[in-house]
Copies of this chain bind each other. A is one copy, B any other.
Amino acid sequence: MKRTRIIELLRGELVGQTVLVKGWVRTKRGNKAVSFIALNDGSIIHNLQIVVDLEKFDSELLAKVTTGASLSVTGMLVASQGQGQSVELQAHEIEVLGTADPATYPLQKKGHSLEFLREIAHLRPRTNTFGAIYRMRHHMAMAIHTFFHERGYFYVHTPLITASDAEGAGQMFQVTTLDLDNLPRTEDGAVDYREDFFARHTSLTVSGQLEGEMAALALGGIYTFGPTFRAENSNTPRHLAEFWMIEPEVAFLEIDENMDLAEDFIKYCVQWALDHCMDDLTFLAEHFDSELISRLRFVLEKPFKRMTYTEGIEILEAAIKGGRKFEFPIYWGADLASEHERYLVEEHFQRPVIVTDYPKEIKSFYMKLNDDGKTVRGMDVLFPKIGEIIGGSEREADLEKLMKRASEMGVPEKDIWWYLDSRRYGTAPHSGFGLGFERLLLFVTGMTNIRDVIPFPRTPRNAEF
């Protein structure tokens, strides 16, 4: 007999049939005559209740049926008399595939802290919370691929190991095959990178954008979805050393359409969560964040507010005049801190906000310079609770202006000769943005620590598993 997944059994269509189910014991309870086993197989957050007539089963076998044990159960699916479930399984045969010693199994008791579960990241997917989060992680990835595929964008894999640091987006991890105990040296005593695997100094990428642009200026619309790295020594609930980014780049797209794309995209993902993940969302809302589902609906309801950075500063300055206190000073030319972003989103406009036209000094060299010579066509999408969830821009398409900006920002021309080629030959207006996948997951799951939305987080002093 073929195994049927619990998500299918709970639909109730197989009532009256003999079925085979396999999964892990969540709880066992009962009385002298009957045991009730809550079995979970990961396909859905809900358990299947297994009803065991104790007269029919060996007590030694049942003694092994403890929390965490894996079972194979054959039985009759019937409508349930109990509350909280529509069907249950009357067990005919039970096989214990793997035991879990109650004396040592770490998930024996309920109510572990998220901190403790991070230390057993290899087992935490067996909990309701992380089952829900990882199923939603899958669904968000699928939403992203589906969104772009249906619109004719092509998925592009940009390189992870890179010889350039053109983004200047933070400290990078070095990648090497040199023997650190026996480094080759040049005549003047420097490390001789000609001996390294790539015959040069290489690092892990901080963004696939520049390579993505090369593809967009040939294929039209593309997106990346891959890991990126930051060697920042930031031990905070918002930082990971290794995380996943989605970076669409689109030829012939200007800033207004780029905002449309970003808004459509993120609304599509949130709508997908509501359409496909309601069981998991309901669990997460009940246990972690009662406003989760209403917050998701909230971002879908209204168009995002669009305004310039300059307008944003004016609003913040007016708020300060009106007595609003902020921790960090804010003035034209300063970057918005998270508290400023959240004020605009949560208090002033009470909806997601897209801020555009930032001072060029606080943005990357590749952003298109406005005619004012002072601001660039960057755009940040600000979300409730999260702050910046998307950062993007129209890209500078003009070769001369791009070279001037690169020079001003200290990006060496020799590192980006190939990037400049795309403006030298057949340049075109184009735009793109980056979404941190884990930021999206924080938003749709309601979790508050980024280490809880990626299976095996990488943070300073932590690369376990």
Q: Which residues of A contact B (CB under 8 A)?
A: 3, 5, 7, 22-25, 41-43, 68-70, 72, 97-101, 104-107, 120, 122-123, 125-126, 130-131, 134-135, 137-138, 141-142, 145, 149, 152, 154-164, 171, 173-178, 180-181, 183, 190-191, 197-200, 202, 204, 211, 214-215, 217-221, 226-227, 229, 231, 233, 241-242, 244, 251-252, 397, 418-419, 421-429, 454-456, 458, 460-465
Contact = CB atoms under 8 A, between A and B. Distances in A.
Given A137-B155, A173-B175, A215-B125, A22 B163 contact: no
A211 B425 contact: no
Contacts of A125: 214-215, 218-219
A100 B218 CA distance: 14
A76 B122 CA distance: 61
Given A177-B174, A190-B181, A198 B68 contact: no
Contacts of A68: 425-426
Contacts of A174: 175-178, 180
Contacts of A156: 134, 137-138, 455
B138 A456 contact: no
Contacts of A423: 98
A197 B233 CA distance: 8
Contacts of A458: 159, 161, 198
A251 B42 contact: yes
A173 B161 contact: yes
Contacts of A42: 154, 218-221, 251
A217 B220 CA distance: 41
Given A137-B155, A251-B42, A463 B161 contact: yes
Contacts of A218: 24, 42, 123, 125-126, 130-131
Nearest to A108: B425
A443 to B, nearest CB: 17
- A-B pairs with the 5 shortest C-beta distances? A98-B427, A125-B218, A42-B219, A42-B220, A138-B154
Most B CB atoms within 10 A — which of A126, A138, A141, A215? A138
A180 B191 contact: yes
B178 A175 contact: no
Nearest to A200: B463
Contacts of A204: 175
A107 B465 CA distance: 47
Contact of A160 (B41, B214, B242): B242
Contacts of A241: 161, 197-198
Contact of A98 (B41, B200, B397): B397
Nearest to A429: B97
Contacts of A198: 241, 458, 460-463
Nearest to A214: B122
A159 B226 contact: no
A404 B439 CA distance: 42
A463 B422 CA distance: 19
B98 A463 contact: no
A445 to B, nearest CB: 14
Nearest to A23: B220
A98 B220 contact: no
Contact of A122 (B70, B155, B162, B422): B422
B122 A428 contact: no
Given A126-B218, A199-B462, A202-B463, 16 more contacts: A22-B251, A43-B219, A97-B426, A122-B419, A123-B214, A125-B219, A138-B154, A138-B155, A142-B149, A159-B458, A159-B463, A159-B465, A173-B175, A181-B191, A198-B463, A214-B465
